[in-house]
Amino acid sequence: MMSTNRSHLHVAALLVAVTLAVVSPVRVEARVLSEDVMVAELDNGIRVVVSPTHDVPVVSVVAVVRGGSSVEGRDQRGLAHIVEHMVFQGPIEGTPTGMLPQTIEALGGEIRAETSADASRYIATIAPDGAAEAIAALGFALSAPVFDAQRLRTELDIMEKELDEVYASPIVALRNTATQAIYGDGPYAQSAGGGPEALPQYTIHDVAAFHQTHYVGANMAVIVAGDMDGQAAVDAVSEAFADIPLGAPTVPSLSADPATPVDTITAPHGAPLVGLFFVAPGISAMRDVLATDVLLGILDHGSASRMRTQLPRALPGVGGLGAGFLTQRLPGHLYLWVDPGQASPQAAIGVLKTILADIRDNSVSVEECQQGARTALLLHAMGADTYTGQAESLAFYEAIDSYELAISYEDEVLTIGPDDIRRVVLRYFDPDRALVVIGGGAP
């Protein structure tokens, strides 16, 4: 999956300093990006980003906790996901239903939660007249969750079933084998949900300790997009999240920069897919990230993309194929995979390597690069017609660096040229330095 499957906000780059007069107990100093985006830093470290738009009577709120699986210790695999479940399903005092999902639903809205390597996100969508109450419910749930052993056991049972479904995917089996080879015990070594075998060992003490460490203002942001006055949104967040302590930021770290192991390994189970895997740029190398997004469009988006034209021609009867890349805080990975059908795994690997080698040796045309950039922009803007998409775009980039990357993406990706594409292939994705993974235990 490309990092560009996030929506885009069209806003000016000029920052104008202003001060908001608020009645909440938390003093706020805010900045405004033109008339479209307001940013407030709360005293407890929480950043509030508001994109007030009044075309449709809908408000989306995303609470971001930079406490995903990448900050877990070796003995904490899957704990970020467990805490997310416990917070999401926890009771809320003083509400008619007593539970976060039911509280939001009683207000006429909907809510979901998810955990990735870099963050946990709580995403609510609601009508404007219930927005302040929804923000209050979110604030209470994240700041004062109630953890009990019986509910932990229930959530663990639910999560084990979820993970069984996830790990049954042959592509997940392929990727997990690759990431474990690349990262070892590092923060991106496994699926963000953890493994089923790791879940039963955790106790209420483990859950509470993880929450206390990571659910702090220095690790949090709240994004509000849609039909809500900007200052009213900041006021509501300031009051609802006032009890969150400042704490200290927790940032994932690597003992050394990961390097792609040049090897051929097998995934222990799953369909006989084959894949090439490479360490990819992290968010600190933003221009390389943009070039990788464009490269992904060149490789695998649209009927004229290189993989979708060359693989079926070289391997008649080929099954599924694809490529993926997700921008992350630390170096992530790019992968190309194919179901070779009746062809041998070695033949399929050879074709994948040839596709990349041609770009490495000959680059791409200006027209092909422009088409890849248009594809990246399309994926980036797919959610732009919804406030939830706008909020999630800002939240995604805020979790790994800054919401401002969501705003500047469109202008920046259009500056990527053929030289950038060849440069990232030479630096990161040289097919002669690939990790080859063969699924299904095939030789």
pTM: 0.88
User: What per-residue confidence (pLDDT) applies to 319?
Assistant: 87
Q: Under 8 Å CB-to-CB from 368, ≥6 apart: which residues?
A: 298, 418
Q: Do domains 15-240 and 263-441 have the same CATH topology?
A: yes
At 32, which amino acid appears?
A: V
User: What per-residue confidence (pLDDT) applies to 14?
Assistant: 24
SS3 393: helix
Fold classified for 263-441: Cytochrome Bc1 Complex; Chain A, domain 1 (3.30.830)
Tens digits of per-residue pLDDT, 383-397? 666 899 999 999 999
Q: Which residues of the chain have pLDDT under 70?
A: 1-35, 93-98, 195-200, 254-256, 269-271, 383-385, 441-443
User: What per-residue confidence (pLDDT) applies to 31?
Assistant: 53
Domain layout of the chain by residue ranges: 15-240, 263-441
CATH architecture of 15-240: 2-Layer Sandwich (3.30)
Taking alpha carbons only, the member of 392, 84, 304 closest to residue 211 is 84
User: What per-residue confidence (pLDDT) applies to 27?
Assistant: 43
